[in-house]
Amino acid sequence: MRRALAASRILAIAAVVAAGLFPIYYLALTALKPTGLLFAVPPRFIFSPSLEAFQQVLAEGHVRYFMTSLIVSTASALLAAALAAAGAFAFTYYRFPWREGAFFLCILGRMFPPVTTLVPVFLMVKMLGLLDHPLGLILVYVAFEVPLVLLIMRGFFVQVPGELYESASLDGAGTFQLFSRIALPLTMPGLLASGVLSFILTWNELLFALVLTSARARTASVALASFLEAEGSVQWQLVASLGVLTILPVFLFMGAMHRFMVRGLTLGALKG
């Protein structure tokens, strides 16, 4: 009985892992299939891979969609981190009337989906003359990310021991020094973790990118969507390789930052 249970556990874990990875594996497989084998019945799983599709991505200049996505996601994550870290610091240490109400208003965005602002935001970006410009997307995405960073950073600031501020204050440090020299370095894991989450959030976003861009500032998500719309004549390997390139940076980024994400959480646990 016990052995059967242990075996079924291992089986369950293996099944979950396989189900989680197979679809992505098949995407990569499709991207690497030589044209001749693409429509083979039964579908081929073993073949010598071809880099045709990725060469096509380079040759046809599809790289620029990824550059746009990279610029937009990085810039908006940095801007959101700066705005929200400062705001979270003030919210944590400064008492003022209606503080909790104001805080709730600020994180309202976590509860109201962005689509609630779709039409006005489109009109605002249009008025600023930033339609189809990366800056327009950056401005909009920062507002998506700020509530998330604010929430995470407030949780981190609360855990910084008050004595550190007191002794620094006695040494003559002002509010800005306390923020930049004490609070920020101690909460760096939280800032990095929320930065990574912000980056992923905007890298993956479709709806607003669809509405706010058309040709010049097209992001990777929008480009992928438009290549799939080519009804009937979908270039499968190209689409699959664009899909792989859309996923890959997020995986790499998440993998590289994994240590910080874990450290961020352990720091929270230690001080809690």
Partner 1 sequence: MTGGRSIRGEGAFWLLLLPMVAYLVIWRILPLLYTAWLSLADWNIGRGAPPRFIGIENYLRLLGDPRFHAAVKVSAIFMLVATAAEVVLGVALALLVNRPFRGQTIVQGILLVPMITSPVAVGTIWYILYNGKIGPLTYLVDRLGFGVQDWLGSTLTALPAIILADVWEWTPFVFLLALSGLQGIPETVVEAARIDGASAWKVWWYITLPLLRGVIVAAAILRAMDALKIFDTIFIMTGGGPGRSTESASLLVYRTAFTHFEFGYAAAMIMVVLALTTLLYWFYTRVPQEV
Residues 134-193 that bind partner 1 (CB under 8 A): 139-140, 142-143, 146-147, 150, 154-155, 158, 162, 165, 169, 174-176, 178-179
Query: Does the footprint of partner 1 cover residue 104 (CB under 8 A)?
Result: no
Which region, judged by CB under 8 A, interacts with partner 1, from 56-64, 70-78, 94-102, 263-271? Answer: 94-102
Query: Does the footprint of partner 1 cover residue 93 (CB under 8 A)?
Result: yes
Query: Does the footprint of partner 1 cover residue 267 (CB under 8 A)?
Result: no
What are the DSSP calls for the chain, one per residue? -HHHHHHHHHHHHHHHHHHHHHHHHHHHHHHH--GGGTT-SSPP-------HHHHHHHHTTTHHHHHHHHHHHHHHHHHHHHHHHHHHHHHHH---TTHHHHHHHHGGGGTS-GGGGHHHHHHHHHHTT-TTSHHHHHHHHHHHHHHHHHHHHHHHHHTS-HHHHHHHHHTT--HHHIIIIIIHHHTHHHHHHHHHHHHHHHHT--HHHHHH-SSTT--HHHHHHHHH-STT---HHHHHHHHHHHHHHHHHHHHHHHHHHHHHHHHHHHH-
Q: Which residue has the tokens 């044209």?
A: 35
- Among 41, 46, 59, 270, the residue binding partner 1 under the rule CB under 8 A is 41
- Among 27, 78, 131, 135, the residue binding partner 1 under the rule CB under 8 A is 27
Q: Would you give the binding string for partner 1 spanning residues 193-232, x where CB under 8 A is met? A: -------x--xx-xx--xx---------x--xx--xx---
Q: Which of residues 46-65 bind partner 1 (CB under 8 A)?
A: none
Which region, judged by CB under 8 A, interacts with partner 1, from 53-61, 70-78, 117-125, 185-193? Answer: 117-125
Query: Does the footprint of partner 1 cover residue 13 (CB under 8 A)?
Result: yes
CA gap 47, 38 in Å, rounded: 11
Query: Does the footprint of partner 1 cover residue 23 (CB under 8 A)?
Result: yes
- Among 105, 128, 252, 256, the residue binding partner 1 under the rule CB under 8 A is 105
Q: Pick the closer one to partner 1 by CB: 64 or 110.
A: 110
- Among 57, 77, 121, 238, the residue binding partner 1 under the rule CB under 8 A is 121
CB of 30 to partner 1, least distance (A): 6
Q: Pick the closer one to partner 1 by CB: 58 or 207.
A: 207
CA gap 211, 86 in Å, rounded: 31
- Do residues 29 and 242 touch, judged by C-beta distance below 8 A? no
Which region, judged by CB under 8 A, interacts with partner 1, from 53-61, 101-109, 130-138, 185-193? Answer: 101-109
Q: What angle in degrees, to the nearest 10, is found between the helix axes of 63-93 and 188-203?
A: 140
CB of 202 to partner 1, least distance (A): 10
- Among 7, 35, 39, 129, the residue binding partner 1 under the rule CB under 8 A is 39
